[in-house]
Structure 1
Amino acid sequence: MKVLFQARQDYRKHPAGDTIQLLATAQALKNLGIQVFLSLNPRIQLDEYDLVHVFNATPVADVSMFFENAKKQKKPLVVSPIYWNMEHYLKRDNTHSLVFDQWESYQPWRGQLLRESNLLLPSSQLEMEQIQKDFQVVTPYKVIPNGFPTEYLGIDETYFREQCPGLPEEFVLSVARISSRKNQKWLAQCCQELGLTLVLAGPIDEPQYFEEVQAYPHVIYLGTLQGRLLASAFAAAKIHAMPSWFETTGLSSLEAGACGAMVLTTNQGWSKEYFQDMAIYVNPFEETSLTPALEKALTISPRPLTEHIHKHYSWARVGELTLTAYQHLLES
């Protein structure tokens, strides 16, 4: 089987969760013997491919061109939507009014793409229900969860402690792009109230926001961590906190939980379908929700969540589920 992956034009320049999902899924499929190719060309000839798989329907101006090309060449189109309705977030104050108008103007495009695709692969049942609610979609679908890298298994905190000495025994870690959407400033404020050290890791999307977050004296920024060092950082952290305004899944939360950190995450998104009652949830629209959530997270064992993630959410399993979905589509 030969599969073509397509994604937003800047998926490597500005990596995010969709970048990880695309690359990890591609590798998992290759491990199963599937030939996976990647192209950002919206006019690529599709004769040699069995199907086209597009990731992330949110930047619809980009991906709609892939949709039109597949439709024109009569190739089966699979879409991983990675969808969250941002209306509530963008309307919370007046600062995003132009962005909200743009979001609304693109919603019909997203609806057409999702309705006329051959197969949708949402990352949760809750995501699919939101899509059905927003766009009256009846497109066939198969829930394909996200995963964590199994090479993280067995990595403990030792390497991170060697590379980053001087950190307290208990600290809060947050691995994400530094941006107002990720809500690190709120996290810094609440960690200061509790006397907790906050360790941040990830690329800086908004330099001015980053300066505001770093103004808190207990905040330590480590840049972007990867591979063994990232896994060891997750293992060292008491809590991994992601109080974002929304998260479709929260891949860093999934990875942190797999490595043994207690997960504290936003309730705006699909995390509860993954973590059930084994994580701590906060509502970013309620200012007082985070401090008691951090206090609670300090007292809870992460072991049940870690074992749950190991059992259900490896990228290898994601590859198997994705391949089965492809096979059913092509057979039908």
Structure 2
Amino acid sequence: MSAAPLRVAFDATHARINRTGIGRYAQQLLPALAARDDVDVVGLLAPGTGATGRAQHLLGVARRDFAYYPAGLAHRARAARADVIHCPTSSPAHSAKPPLVMTVHDLLWLRMPQHFTPAVRAYHRMSVPAVRAAGRILADSDATRADVIELLGVPEERVVTAPLAADPRFAPREADRDLLRARFGIERRYVLAVATREPRKNLNALLDAFERLAARVDDCDLVLVGGKGWSSAELERTLEATDDRVKVCGFVSEDELVALYAGATCFAFPSLAEGFGLPVLEAMACGTPVVSSNTTSMPEVTGDAALLVDPTDVEALAAALERLMTEPVLANGLARRGLERAATFSWERCAAETVAAYRQLV
């Protein structure tokens, strides 16, 4: 006889408010859990989620971090008769009953604090006691799991790796050159980068590498996707001074992003450090050859399906991009291996690892 389904109170707040990797994680994991017959998922939202206007937004943040997570989430989970709470990102959430599972996407603010503002570090620090007290911690990668154990002193048996996956819409397709031309002004071959414009993403190094690449390869552009982050003033000034071979697209829709992956000659991800590196997996799932950093979780995600370089070595980055621009046999081989590698990650697998952690705890 099969065990009764677990009733899971899932904090869906960040699935609603966050457009970056944390929000995408929650958006993809929720339906993967809901598709299973061994869990019954109840989605919970912090009060004020989706509020418009600066004053309402600030009030919502205060209520979320100083009332909902410390007490309200557990209260509402008990009212829903949940067996377990899942908070899909580090937060000041506390609960002994029902027990709490928390996902930690990275501890890079501790590993390399110089790349984060004091406010960001303070915000994350507020969550540390709750993370340490959680009954189970899910980590996106073995690299993040090791950081949780080392930097927070959490016993290793309480930390479980549950790798992420790409949305199924990230898949090979024919490049829509008309859309790329009309929507983004892209006429030539291009290197694609997807990242928030903040210091850790190392986009200044990518711009320097592209300048070297453009001197060697005539018919190529650099296309940047992603919004502004903190401490990006210097980068923004540099971008304003670049010519039309560097195209800054900002946030784009999911369908536009798939089209950009499909049309790219190669994908560049020179980040200094990542908890997982979801854009790399998305690019591989689309059949786009990848140049990535050789640090933290990136080798774990790419396996042998990408060119890995030291992200601080601008010439190595430029040379790797040049190889993918000028060596079609290499590029095609990496694209094929990337598809095979991406297929080993799935949200069904992530959900299975997540439910196993629920059951271990309950």
TM-score w.r.t. length of structure 2: 0.76
Paired amino acid for 1:304:
R
Task: Look up the match of 2:154.
Answer: 137
Task: Look up the match of 2:236.
Answer: 210
Give 1:176 shift.
Answer: 1.9
Paired amino acid for 1:81:
V
Distance 1:86 1:283 in 2: 20
For residues 152-191 of structure 1, the C-alpha deviation after alignment (integer angstroms, 9 at most, x for no partner) is 3353322xx2212263553100122223332223212211
Alignment of 1:95-106 (within 5 A): 99=118, 103=121
Q: Secondary structure at the match of 2:169?
A: helix
Unaligned 5+ segments in structure 2 are 1-5, 47-67, 215-219
Task: Look up the match of 1:81.
Answer: 104
Q: 2:224·2:247 contact (CA, 8 Å) conserved in 1?
A: yes
For residues 1-55 of structure 1, the C-alpha deviation after alignment (integer angstroms, 9 at most, x for no partner) is 3322337x77755532111111111121122253240322321322122211122
Task: Look up the match of 2:132.
Answer: 115
Paired amino acid for 1:3:
V
Task: Look up the match of 2:289.
Answer: 262
Q: Does 1:157 align with 2:198?
A: no
Task: Look up the match of 1:289.
Answer: 316
Paired amino acid for 1:31:
A
- Higher deviation after alignment, 250-259 or 131-140: 131-140
12 and 187 in structure 1: CA distance in 2 versus 1, 3 angstrom threshold = farther
Q: Secondary structure at the match of 2:262?
A: helix
Give 1:86 shift.
Answer: 3.5
Distance 1:14 1:105 in 2: 16
**Equivalent position to 1:54, from 87, 105, 108:** 87
Give 1:137 shift.
Answer: 1.6
Distance 1:286 1:261 in 2: 23
Give 1:275 shift.
Answer: 1.0
- Bigger radius of gyration, 1 or 2? 2
Give 1:252 shift.
Answer: 1.3
Q: 1:247·1:266 contact (CA, 8 Å) conserved in 2?
A: no
Give 1:197 shift.
Answer: 0.8
Task: Look up the match of 2:36.
Answer: 32
Distance 2:42 2:301 in 1: 27
Q: What is the aligned-residue identity percentage?
A: 24
Task: Look up the match of 1:174.
Answer: 193
Give 1:118 shift.
Answer: 1.1
Distance 1:21 1:84 in 2: 17
Give 1:215 shift.
Answer: 2.2
116 and 285 in structure 1: CA distance in 2 versus 1, 3 angstrom threshold = same
For residues 32-89 of structure 1, the C-alpha deviation after alignment (integer angstroms, 9 at most, x for no partner) is 25324032232132212221112232xxxxx12x12xx13xx2111111112334563
Task: Look up the match of 2:9.
Answer: 4
In angstroms, what is the RMSD of aligned CA positions?
2.8
TM-score w.r.t. length of structure 1: 0.82
Unaligned 5+ segments in structure 1 are 58-62
Distance 2:15 2:264 in 1: 28
